[in-house]
Structure 1
Amino acid sequence: MRILVDAGNTSTKWQLRHGGDVVDGGQGDLRDLRAWVSALGGVRDSVVAVSCVRDDAYALELNEVFESVNPDQLHFAVSSAAFAGVRNAYEEPYRLGVDRWLALLAIKARGEESAVIIDVGTACTIDVMDDGQHLGGYIFPGMALARDALVSNTDKIRFSKHPDPSISPGTDTAGCVLSGVWLTLLATCQHVIDRFPDSKVYLTGGSAKELGALGVGGERVDGLVFDGLDFWLNGA
């Protein structure tokens, strides 16, 4: 059994895998994770792998959660110069966000050597890999972050709770902001895709569905960090 944990900037997710299959999982805060771990029962000897982009204090709390499971088989993933034929573009490899590194490894595990990986979350990241060589990437605000930055100093703009994504011209200020942000995301992603026409495109993250609906082509995939952790564990 393997317990895989993806501690992102805004949420923590976890999976229990057996033989590569997901048999359980969840999402929430540390309290939820502790409750889930406490209920594991017969799988307390599982190998644990963690991807954490939060600060050291949060990583320490995660460590404490899993000390009761199998402290000798607790692994925190780190970015490295190379792994399984994937080569890191960073001069200081450990500075590449481990979630981005694991996404690259997940694509490698799928048998793909050249790819554009677009992760549309709180921040939007794009990483490019060519024949196993990570060429580097881009980081820019995601939908909510960009929207909030534009209206942070005014209380006169009101947004609908769940507006449909659109790149049509807005007919009120809120609509203009939303359309502008979506258009910026779409244009940026499409520009990168056009620069690397021979690479397969993968879309992941909380806004991947919306971005795909607006015209960004690519295969939608979920759980790349989990898949990367599983692959990384095989050689850890």
Structure 2
Amino acid sequence: MILCDIGNTNATIFEDGKISKISIDKFQNFKRNEKIYYISVNDSINQKLQNDKNFVNLEPFFEIDTIYKTLGIDRIANCYSIDEGVIVDAGSAITIDVMANKMHLGGCIVPGISQSLKTYENISSRLKIALNSQIQLDALPQKTADAISYGIVKPIVLLIENISNNSKIYFTGGDGEFLSRFFKNGIYDRILIFRGMQKLIEEKEIL
């Protein structure tokens, strides 16, 4: 089975337990003989694929109990795989969603780490730094580079702590593994979105 998560920059493909990425430009010519089950936030790709019988759009099959308006299909697929807990998808933006008894209670969105670093760079070229992935959050920094890393990471960690209220936290996305290190109740799952897609296909018996 081939699963595909299509974004605006890349398409991520999950096949035989392996993940690969293809740029959207190259994905325009992506062809396989077998069926490809996908979700997509890319409108132009959606239009291109809607008449291709080898591509099966899973979005219409998803049903999730929520009153949240305009919940993105990527967030829906992540939440679909978790009955109870907090889901943190840490990419260009960080989405935080809460599931309880298979119900989506709501969520929030904050800028991702890479976007926050760009904000500092836009303020001053002197504030252009790489994130210190070893930053300690239990003591105030004593140099500017660490102060920026601290200023980005600690508010995110505190927000997740506040929302999670000691529930299990499922991290995914490019910065998910990094953020999960700050939580004893954190679980990093690189393929969380694909677990949601697999679960849907099995439950709905989509062929």
Give the structure 2 partner of residue 110 of structure 1: none
Give SS of 2:123's match.
coil
Q: Are residue 223 (structure 1) and residue 191 (structure 2) matched?
A: yes
Q: What amino acid sits opposite 1:4 in the alignment?
A: L
Local SS of the residue matching 1:60: helix
More deviation in 149-158 or 118-127? 149-158
Indicate whether 1:7 and 2:1 are aligned.
Answer: no
Q: Is the counterpart of residue 28 in structure 1 residue 15 in structure 2? A: no
Query: Residues 26 and 34 of structure 1: is their aligned pair in 2 closer, same or farther, counting only changes over 3 Å?
Result: farther
Aligned equivalent of 2:152, options 169, 181, 193 = 181
C-alpha displacement of 1:105:
1.4
| Structure 1 residue 50 corresponds to structure 2 residue 68 | no
Question: Which of 60, 74, 77 is residue 102 of structure 1 equivalent to?
Answer: 77
Are 1:165 and 1:179, in contact at CA under 8 Å, matched by a contact in 2?
no
What amino acid sits opposite 2:119 in the alignment? A
Q: Does 1:74 align with 2:55?
A: yes
- What does 1:117-156 correspond to in 2, within 5 Å? 117-156=87-126
Question: Contact 2:170–2:186 (CA<8 Å) still a contact in 1?
Answer: yes
Contact 1:7 1:51 in 2 (8 A): yes
Report the aligned-residue RMSD.
Answer: 2.6
SS at match of 1:116: strand
AA aligned to 1:78 is E
Residues 184/132 of structure 1: CA separation in 2 closer, same or farther (3 Å cut) = same
CA distance in 2, matches of 1:172, 1:152: 19
Structure 2 residue aligned with 1:163: 132
Give the 3-state SS of the residue equivalent to 1:118 in structure 2: strand
CA contact (8 A) 2:168 2:185 kept: no
Gaps of 5+ in 1: 17-21, 108-112
> Conserved in 2, the CA contact under 8 Å of 1:79 and 1:96?
no
Which runs of no fewer than 5 residues in structure 2 stay unpaired? none
Letter of the 1:26 partner, please give it: S
Give, in angstroms, the shift of residue 152 of structure 1. 1.3
SS at match of 2:185: coil
Task: Report the AA paired with residue 71 of structure 2.
Answer: L
Question: Which SS does the other structure have where 2:81 is aligned?
Answer: helix
| Helix, strand or coil at the partner of 1:152 | helix
Aligned to 2:171: 203
CA distance in 2, matches of 1:171, 1:210: 22
Query: Deviation string for 1:28-73 (max 9, x for gaps)?
Result: 20354467x45x5xxx1x222221123x124335x28xx6xxx334
Distance verdict in 2 for CA 1:79–1:135, change over 3 Å: farther
Checking the alignment, whether the CA contact within 8 Å between 2:9 and 2:23 is kept in structure 1 is no
Report % sequence identity: 22
